With several copies, the nearest count.
Chain A
């Protein structure tokens, strides 16, 4: 790989993706607060480096599965912003025609096989997708995102064993933000943690500072190459911090304010910015990237707000082919 020469370009690409994720979610938060977005909204503010670092190393025909906190994953994988924002708003032009909302965003056209409202729900799907790809002779791979809360659910064990057994092309990504909903994960997780569990299931594991975008990128590049080479699954354990609450309406008041302050200072976009500045990138360049991202998302918000609602008749569609029921009030 000719990484050295274009390192700055890679970092700038990461920075752009991360700014776009942040801008998307802050815009969504504001829209939710303003009553424009219905239903629950889980944002990943402070965790952007993981999504950006992993997906930046994937091909378009690679697949991902995600969890309830999936905006970043989708955006980084290339999902269209308009379709994402409209989906959050429940509009006709949403990727899921307004049927899914924030917790069920999917964009199959870029290999995003869906967010998931069930913790660990994406793990069995990811290993199956990898098995299908392998069966079809493709060299595409699957990245499977889940949180630290998911490692206490059975499908984690079943899925990792399965992927290792059949040497499937899956990169498991554990976004370890230390909390599951309102509970510190450490307080409900026995043993040495996710890496030991994965290794015990035959899945080689690498740990990384998930708030260091460059480090995630580097680890991901290596792991994606290994997985694509057919050597079986890998797990990347990325430690990070969820700056905001569990849902958009959770003030996370139980958190230690000092810890939150410290986390704000160590958050990945600021860190990457510092790194880029130190590598000689002009601050104004970075400001423009950030500004563009905010503008892009503001525009997406206004468009979504102006976009048409889905026709009620749509409610009856796409249930199934055989035995579909006809629309009647």
Chain B
């Protein structure tokens, strides 16, 4: 298997699916020039400007047109450029895409993939570094994918494109350069299945998206200090692999959820709440969450560093949890 970057893995997955199914197409700003990150490099040349549509800066219609095109039977990939700009298209996403199938009693098939590179991004400040994936777990009708590796990005993107549901696909933009093995023919990865990154019996680390490499690093450091973490990358937040987390917790009794997003109202709250409901408080020894404090992402490096989750903070949080 070839080792390629995450962004190249994403490119190949979309390429494969557009070759496979002529009803798949992509729309968004600058996509005909290959996209902001090169995710669509070469697509215009291969598929032409009817299937690779560079759009005006019109987020409402980028999103809404994707929906309309799905309603007549095509399968658009809606490229949002950077997550933060989806705020300019929330009616189309939340009031329309998420609800049409239900409101219309099953007549509508909003088979769109909405790609939104997200996460803290090297000193890009508050308007270019948001992580609001938890919002969309709260919206019926939506599927939420948050991959962290090249192979997962590729496999989950294939699943997303083939799915009849609207899938919010959070590309981890800070990990675009990350390399890893990806198969020649990309097989779909089912949604709702966590990936175990490390096995251990002392505590369960649940995580996803761009922070995953640092959680792995932290787990290695913890292992060196005699703490064996069971590390699960959820990969998708709706549906999410409750069973895997519960099974791990039945062994470890200790849960630490780590995400880049703000802790308050983040999906870590849902993971914790659900596990306590499922296993009962008596089934657990200690629980904790580690995320960004409830503060916007600042620009200056020392400020960004002060707030953002990193390996050292993960290690410290895990050790604190072990002491409880």
Residues of A within 8 A of B (CB): 38-40, 63, 65, 90-91, 94-101, 103-104, 106-108, 113-114, 116-121, 123-136, 138, 142, 149-150, 152-155, 158-159, 161-162, 165-166, 180-183, 187-189, 254, 309-323, 325, 328-329
Contacts and interface: CB of A to CB of B under 8 A. Distances in A.
Contacts of B54: 183, 187-188
Nearest to B34: A182
5 contacts: A94-B105, A130-B68, A131-B68, A154-B88, A313-B306
Contacts of A107: 107
Contact of A104 (B23, B69, B126): B126
The list of the 4 closest CB pairs from A to B, nearest first, reads A124-B64, A128-B68, A90-B300, A128-B65
A171 B245 CA distance: 52
Nearest to A166: B53
Contacts of A318: 101-102, 105-106
Interface string B88-126: 100110011000111111111000000000000011111
B102 A319 contact: yes
Contacts of A320: 101, 140-143, 165-166
Interface in B32-46: 33, 36
B107 A312 contact: no
Nearest to B65: A128
Contacts of B84: 117-118
A141 to B, nearest CB: 11
Contacts of B128: 40, 103, 117
Given A121-B95, A159-B61, A183-B54, 18 more contacts: A38-B123, A96-B104, A98-B300, A99-B299, A99-B303, A101-B124, A104-B104, A106-B104, A107-B107, A108-B107, A114-B100, A118-B127, A125-B65, A125-B67, A138-B72, A162-B65, A182-B33, A325-B293
Nearest to B238: A323
Nearest to A157: B58
A205 B121 CA distance: 39
Contact of B122 (A38, A94, A118): A38
Given A114-B103, A121-B96, A100 B299 contact: yes
Contacts, number: 289
B282 to A, nearest CB: 23
Interface residues of B, number: 82
A73 B274 CA distance: 46
B305 interface: yes
A127 B313 CA distance: 44
B50 interface: yes
Given A106-B107, A320-B141, A125 B68 contact: yes
A310 B302 contact: yes
B11 interface: no
A161 B56 contact: yes
A100 B70 contact: no
Contacts of A161: 56, 58
Contacts of A97: 105-106
A142 B294 CA distance: 33
B253 interface: no
B117 to A, nearest CB: 14
Contacts of B124: 39-40, 101, 103
Contacts of A181: 29-30, 36
A153 B59 contact: yes
A132 B125 contact: no
Nearest to B144: A323
Nearest to A317: B106
Nearest to B66: A128
